[in-house]
Each structure stands twice: as C-alpha cells, then as structure tokens.
Amino acid sequence: MISTRDALTSSSSDSAVRWLRSRLGDPTAEDLAAAADSLEAETVGHLEATGSASLSSLFDRWPEVLGEPALLDTVLDVAVEWFVRERGVDRDDALRRLRDANPGLSAQLELCRVLSDAIGVSCSTAAQPKDDVLTLPAEIGPPLTSGGRRYELRQLLGRGSQGRVYLAVDRVLSDQDRPAWVAVKLARVSSAAAAQRLIDEAAKARRVEHHNVVRVLDADVTGANHTHLVTEYIEGGTLERLRCGASDRQAVNTAVEALASVCRGVQAIHSQGLVHCDLKPTNVLLTGHGVPKVADFGLSVRRWSASAVSEPALAGGNLAFMSPEQFRHPDRPPAPPGDVYALGGLLLWVLTGRGPNGATGSEVAARLTRGDSKAIEADLAGIVDDDLRAIARRALADKTADRYASADALAADLERWLEHEPLPWRSVSLWRRGRLFARREPMLTAVAGVAVLVVLGTGIVGGLLVARAERRRVEATAQTATAQVATDRAIADKRIAEAEARANEARATGQTQSVNAARIMLKAMVGDVSEQWLPMMTALETLIGPTILVAPGGEAANVWSERVAVGGRLIEKLEARSGGMTVESAAWRACVAYWKVRLNDPAGGRELALSTARLWTERGWPTTDPLFKKLSLIEALAEFTGDTAGAPPERAEALRTKIRTIAGELRGEYQEDPLSKFALHRIEPDTAGSKKSPATGR
C-alpha cells in the first residue's frame, strides 16, 4: 500500500507534488489541512531517517512551507513532539535543539513554545488544543453530574485523516470492573460552520447499523475548529492482516470473503445517502474473530445529492485508492462509483500487494490524470484466477458507466466466485462450467463419472454377449446345412464374417468411448476427486474385466499412464499422512508396479516391487501374506519381460517356473486373480516373443 505522503514525496520532480503545489497557489483551509497531513508524515519520516534536528532538506523539498504559517506550525509541532517521544527529552530541550539547528526559525519556535505552554494548561478542559498530543489521561466530552467529563482518553492509537485517534473509556457505560472501551477521534476543521456540518454528517452516520460497519456512537464540537467523534473500538488489526499471495487458494478465499463483507458494509453506508470517499486498507478493521468493519467514514462521508452546501467539501481521499473522477473533478460531489473503484483497488491490493493507481507518485499522477490501461492490466496479471481478475477489472474501470452499479453488485459477484458459480455477465465455455460444477459438487461428479463408466462397460459386455450368441446361432445353422451345396456354405461363411465384423465394430466403439470417458474424467477432476475415482475404476474392472480400457490406436496406454500418475500421487499422500509405508500404500504400490509392467516399463515396475518388498521385510510383516507373494510375482514377471530377450534359455525357463509356482499359490487364494492370469499369459512360449499391447499384454 502507498499513502498520500508516498505519492506526494517520491521525488522533487514528481508530478503529484507539482499538482499539490499548483493548488497551494491560492490555498483554502481544506487544502492546508490535506497538506498538513502529508507534512506530518513527511516530517516524521525525515527525522527517523536522519535523526538530526536540522530541517533544511525538508524545506528544500517543500519550499512553500516557509511561506505558509499554518504548514510551518505543523512541521515544528511534529518535530517537537517527535523529540519528546523518541528521544525522551522535555519540550524545552526539544525546542532548544531545533533552535540551534535552525537559527532562522527562532521566532517561530518561540511562538511554538508559548502555544505549548498554553496547551499544557488547557488540555483537560472542553476546549482542546488544535491537534497536539494530549497529556494522558485526558478528559473530553460532555460534563457528568458526578464530576469530570464522559470520555477519559487513555492511549494514542495513531494519526488519522484530519486528526488523531485515542483509546478511551466511556464512563457512562462502564461498570466498575469492566470498562467500556471506545475510540475517540479528535479532528480539526476550517470553521465553526464546517464543524457543525461534520456533526450533522456524523448524526446521519449513526443511522448506519450493519455488522460490517464501525458504529458511530457520539459526536460533538470540542472547541474552536475542532470536533470529536466517538466510535466502537475494534482491536483485531486492519485489512493488512489478510494480504496474501494470489496463488494461495485458502488465503485468497478468506480475503475475498472479507472483501465481500466490506462491500455489503459500504452498501449500507450508501443506502443512508453517504459516500465514504477514503476507503483504504487501514480503514478496514478486523475484529478478534476476523469480521471486517468499515471505519473512519464518520468524518469523510459526504452527500452525493445535487443540493449544494455552503461550506466546501472536506479534502479527503487517499491518492493510492482514489477514483479517477474524484481526482480529476474535486469540485464535483462524490458518488458511490468512487467507493466501488476503491473496493476494486482493495481487492487488487490484498491479492497482489499493489494499489490500483501505481506504486510511485509519477505512476499515481499518470494513471489518475490520463488513465493507463496497460499498467492496470499488468497489475491485474498478478491475480491468478480468471474470474477474480475479471471482477477486479470491472470494479477498476476508468469510466463509471463500465463499473459495477453498486457495492452490492460487486459483493454478489465475489460471493458467486466463492461458491464456484459462473459470472452471469461473462461468456463461459462449457468446459469452464463443467470445472466449476466439479468444484461445487466433487462427490456428485465422481459418482456420475462412475455411472457413465458402468453404462459404457455394460454396453460393451452386452455387445460382446450378443455377438457371441449371434456367432453360435450362425455356426449352428452352418452345421445343419452341411448337406447343402458349396454355394450355401459360402453364404453361411459370409454371414459369420459379417457377424464378427459387427461384433468387432461394436467392441471397438464401446472401448473407445470408455477410454475417452476415463481420460475426460481424469482431466476434468481436480484434487481428491481423481484419487477417489481410481479405486472406483479398479472396482469396476474387477466386476467387468480388464477389457473395459482396451482400445485401438494406443488410447488405452494413455489411460494407463494417467492411472500410474494418479496412483503415484495417492501413494505419496497416504505415506505422507502416516509417516511411511502402510499396508494400504503397499497395496497401491503393488498396483502401480503391475501397471508399469503392462505399460512396457518392466524396469520401473521391478524397481518399485523390489523396494516395496524390502520395506515389507524391514517392518517384520509376514512374507506368507498374499500381497507379498504378488510383489514377488510382479518382480519375476518384470524381469522376465525385460531381460529374457538376450538371456540364456535356462534363465528364462527358471523365471517361467517361478512365475507358475507363485501364480499357483495365489490361485488357491484368488480363483480369478487377474495378475496371475496376465503373468501366465505373458510367459507362454508361443506368445513370449510376440508384440503385445502395453495395456492388454496381447
């Protein structure tokens, strides 16, 4: 985030500085108030950077200060306060140091000393000093019948726009053992009329009752050109706590949920005829439970109706989050689209760390004055999700007509994003809608996918059964027609060939559909869904048979490859969760090793089977277990598949004997064990040297 001070002081040639200086040619009280805020931060930054009491380099950057008594008083007051607070000296010593380092300011520093003495005498009365740090505890507010005043200021919380914020106790609402904490903001204004206008606006702000808006409790005139505003005290920090990387899905969800709530709170402010005008990260507070609340609007809100006001509007708005129209037309009444722009800026900032108007003063001035769509797009590129990026782009549109019509509309789209729903104003592809649905209903998607595979598998099995029955019928007809002439025999043969062709075509079509469905399932499903699909697919093959994923053209091999990848991720997750290999992960290791052998990767299958067997024996598990026997069978099958081509005949025969022995043992425990059947098929002498499909072994 960048502040107004950052935007105005990035360099002496900065265009934003020239803009403010051009306005200071005939400064109003509001101009001076805005400049004073920037000067306070600039003065503190200068003193912290140099540690010196000399202010000459500060005046080199701000020569107007020397000609404007109000601004000069601000610089000297802040400098004295800084030496008292940071160096632990008294005010007289601080004034002496400044006088020695800046001999040309002796008269102004003497006046500062006199004012400080006056402030020290009157700090606990109703008329508060113009903005100096009070001697705490201090009292403020209406007098009580029991003596003293209603609010006791205990701690300085920080500087806000137009004043300072203190932690205070409300003596009227406090119990003896439980103080009622509130936040009290002391603000300076240009005149008594402006102070009264602020009180009127605060009275309207009190009607805003929303759980995402800090409640305004009280407001009154403290003294000449000063007011105080009392709000509920929020102690959980600011929106800065939620800033995250755009790729951290969980943190992004939390931040977007909070910003949707902020939008609802801003809409509640708009519904009361008010505009915030100064939305920024530090003006969004978080409760201890993480609930966001819009703050600091009691002094910055303004009417957006066409009716004119006699006093000029308050100078306000942080340049880092100010809307283009608010910057280009400061005399026009503010409107809700300006707040919508700032909300879009908060979304961009919380996800990328960049403000909507740039990171330097020159960038801020260029974007607010002329607009810079390329730079904005470069910032938006830091948002990974396409829909979320589109939401931020619309909220930050240069023209108000292109933005969201209200803060509620922006909140609705953020909530749609959280619910994985498509944005109604965007053209969404069928593939994108499918992915969003899979995120909303992962289990339903998995069940539907398995149902599709079951239907396809049933169709394949049914087609095979029909083809087999047809062939038997034709063969029976041919047998009964042996007495017929050769012509009749030819007709029968032709019918058999046609029936086989139809059966092969039905089988190939069904297999291709099942493979394509499986590949779509693997690609469309994300996260745990694909891992849930794997055991479902394995169970389906157990019921229907391994031919469900057999297809021409190498498509089956692709599905087996994707299966190996999914199985590998599942093994990693299981073993990461348990801290090592378990019986369940050992079973999946055996599956993956078997699949690698079927994929013509016998070396990979053998290595995985051997490492699993070694871990099995290290844990002292029984080697008579059927799963351990399967590992031995896979290792032997992998060695036979990979090494028998150039191995001596004796070695190949020894491996065949080993495979037959283990398969025989397993057959006693698993009558139709697919691994044993596959292994025995592979070692048959008439097919061992033939080419086999990676997925089928045929």
What is the SS3 assignment for 444-495? HHHHHHHHHHHHHHHHHHHHHHHHHHHHHHHHHHHHHCCCCCHHHHHHHHHH
Amino acid at site 316? G
- From the list 265, 282, 190, 187, the residue with the least C-alpha distance to 229 is 187
Of 563, 592, 598, 562, nearest in space to 575 by CA: 592
What secondary structure letter does DSSP report for 275? B
Catalytic residues: 278
- The structure tokens listed for 375 are 């730079």
Q: What are the strands of the beta sheet with 181-188, ordered from one edge?
A: 138-143, 149-160, 163-170, 181-188, 226-232, 216-223
Q: CA of 346: how far to CAs of 50, 259, 354, 670, in Å?
A: 33, 8, 9, 63
CA 70 to chain centre: 45
Report the alpha-carbon distance of residue 181 to residue 160 in Å, rounded: 19
User: CA-based angle 447:452:456, to the nearest 5?
Assistant: 145
Q: How far apart are CA 322 and CA 280, in angstroms?
A: 9
| Exposed / middle / buried, residue 142 (Cβ in 10 Å: 0-12, 13-18, 19+) | exposed
Cis peptide before 137 (omega within 30 of 0): yes
Give one word for 640, left, alpha or beta, with left for phi > 0 and alpha for psi -120 to 50: alpha
Q: Residue 515: how many CB atoms within 10 A of its CB? A: 24
What number of other Cβ atoms are within 10 A of residue 428's Cβ? Answer: 14
Residues linked to residue 139 through DSSP beta bridges, in sequence order: 152
* CA-angle at 257, arms to 256 and 262, nearest 5°: 90
Q: Tell me the C-alpha distance between 503 and 496, whole Å.
A: 11
Q: Which of 76, 78, 58, 65 is nearest to 35 (CA)?
A: 65
Closest CA to 441 of 515, 525, 506, 377: 525
590 phi and psi, to 5 degrees?
-65, -40
In this structure, are residues 369 and 322 in contact, taking their beta carbons and an 8 Å threshold? no
CA distance 133 to 81: 8
Residue 153, phi then psi, degrees to nearest 5: -80, 125
Q: How many CB atoms lie within 10 A of CB 134?
A: 20
Strand partners for 186:
164, 228
Euclidean distance between CA atoms 555 and 454, whole angstroms? 19
Cβ neighbours of residue 362 closer than 8 Å, sequence gap 6 or more: 10, 11, 14, 15, 16
In terms of Cα–Cα distance, which of 539, 510, 521, 534 is closest to 448?
A: 521
